[in-house]
Amino acid sequence: MSKTDYNEVPFHSLLQVVAEYIQPLQRSFDIYQQEYFLKRPPEFFALELCGEAGELANKEKKLWKGKDISLEELSEEAADVVIALFNYANSRNINLAEALVNKLEKIQPKP
């Protein structure tokens, strides 16, 4: 699927993409984390996730106040949040694809 295809993805297609791509990505992060980093408990990753989200929020606050914050800085912080989320989910054996599909189905506006 190309980048432009994502601009107008119907809801059922969104669920299919989430189910197809998130789980292998999550598995890959788990393998990477286990191979290169110390084993940590879920509480560590929950705190790490909060910290990384806080760093992203702080960059946004500075940007909102008129400071010069680059897209690269925001991108790095956003990536840190995603990594921390995968690490947390893996440490708790949370299937993010399944959880995300379930949540999207709950919040999908009804006609």
The pLDDT tens digits of the residues spanning 82-99 come to 999 999 999 999 999 999
CA atoms of 75 and 80, how far apart (whole Å): 9
Q: Is the whole model's pTM more than 0.75, yes or no?
A: yes
Residue 16: enclosing H or E segment and its boundaries? helix 11-36
Instruction: Give pLDDT, residue 62.
Output: 98
The pLDDT tens digits of the residues spanning 9-68 come to 688 888 898 989 999 999 999 999 999 999 999 999 999 999 999 999 999 999 999 999
Which domains are present in the chain? 12-104 (1.10.287.1080)
* Amino acid in position 75: S
| Residue (of 10, 8, 12, 6) closest to 105 by Cα position | 12
Cα–Cα distances in Å, from 106 out to 32, 55, 85, 101, 103? 32, 30, 21, 9, 5
Contact present, 26 and 96 (Cβ < 8 Å)? yes
Task: Tell me which residue has tokens 């189905």.
Answer: 105
Confidence of residue 103 (pLDDT cuts 50, 70, 90): very high
Instruction: Give pLDDT, residue 5.
Output: 52
Confidence of residue 7 (pLDDT cuts 50, 70, 90): low
Instruction: Give pLDDT, residue 1.
Output: 46
